Amino acid sequence: MKKQFHILLTLLVLISFFVASCDVLEDEEVYEEEPVAEESYEEEDYQEPASEDAVPPAEDIPSERPGTVIYDLGFRPDQNGFSFENYGDDIQVTNLTADEMRRMFGDQVCSRLKDDQCTLTPPAKQWMEQINDAMAGGHCEGMAVLSLMMYAGQITPDQFGGSVAGDLDINDETLQREIAYWWATQATAPTAESVIRGTPMEIMETIQEMDANGETYTIGIYKEDFSGGHAITPFGVKDVEDGLYTVLVYDNNYPGQVRELLIDSRDNSWAYEAATNPDVESELYTGNADTQTLDLTPTSSRLGEQQCPFCEEGNSSLSGAKLAAPAQAYNQIFLDGKGHILITDDEGNRLGYVDNKIVNEIPGASYNAYRMGASMEAPDPIYSIPDGINVTVTIDGNALDAESETDLVLIGPGFSIGVEEIILEPGQVDTVTFLPNDQMIIYDTDQDESPFIVVSIEDQAGADYYFEVQGMDMQGGGEIYVSLDTKAGDLLIGTEKLTNEGDFALYIERFTDDDEEEFYAEGIMLQAGATIYVNYAEWTDATPEGLYIDVDLDGDGEPDDQYDVSDSE
* Average pLDDT of span 108-133: 95
R_g over Cα of the chain: 26
135-144, 164-173, 223-232 — which is least confidently predicted? Answer: 223-232
Give the pLDDT confidence score for residue 462 in this predicted structure.
Answer: 84
Q: Which of 253, 252, 197 is nearest to 222 (CA)?
A: 197
Backbone angles phi, psi at 268, to 5 degrees: 55, 50
Q: Is the pLDDT of residue 28 over 50?
A: no
Give the number of other Cβ atoms within 10 Å of residue 48's Cβ.
12
How would you label 409-435 residue by residue, b for 16+ Cβ within 10 Å and e otherwise?
bbbbbbbbbbbbbbbbeeebbbebbbb
* Pairing mode, strands 531-534 and 294-298: unpaired
Report residue 563's pLDDT band, with 50, 70 and 90 as the boundaries.
confident
Q: DSSP labels for 54-119?
A: GSPPGGGS--SS--EEEEE----HHHHS-SSPP-SSSS------HHHHHHHH-GGGEEEEETTEEE
Give the pLDDT confidence score for residue 277 in this predicted structure.
Answer: 53
| Contact of 148 with 109, CB cutoff 8 Å | no
For the chain, helix (H) and strand (E) counts, in that order, are 8, 33
Q: Which of 474, 473, 483, 403 is nearest to 445 (CA)?
A: 474
| Contact of 160 with 178, CB cutoff 8 Å | yes
How would you label 94-106 residue by residue, b for 16+ Cβ within 10 Å and e otherwise?
ebbbbebbbbbbb
Report the distance separating Cα 130 and Cα 1, nearest Å: 48
Which carries the bigger pLDDT value, residue 498 or residue 128?
A: 128
Give the pLDDT confidence score for residue 304 in this predicted structure.
Answer: 78
Three-state secondary structure string covering 393-451: EEEECCCCCCCEEEEEEEEECCEEEEEEEEEECCCCEEEEEEEHHHCEEEEEECCCECC
Three-state secondary structure string covering 504-533: EEEEEEEECCCCEEEEEEEEEEECCCCEEE
DSSP state of 499: S
Mean pLDDT, the chain, integer: 85
Q: Is the pLDDT of residue 313 over 80?
A: no
Instruction: Find residue 261's DSSP bridge partners.
Output: 247
Q: Is the pLDDT of residue 116 over 60?
A: yes
55-64, 81-90, 328-337 — which is least confidently predicted? Answer: 55-64
Give the pLDDT confidence score for residue 526 in this predicted structure.
Answer: 83
Instruction: Find residue 468's DSSP bridge partners.
Output: 454, 507
Give the number of other Cβ atoms within 10 Å of residue 16's Cβ.
11
* pLDDT tens-place string over residues 250-277: 999 999 999 999 999 999 999 998 765 5
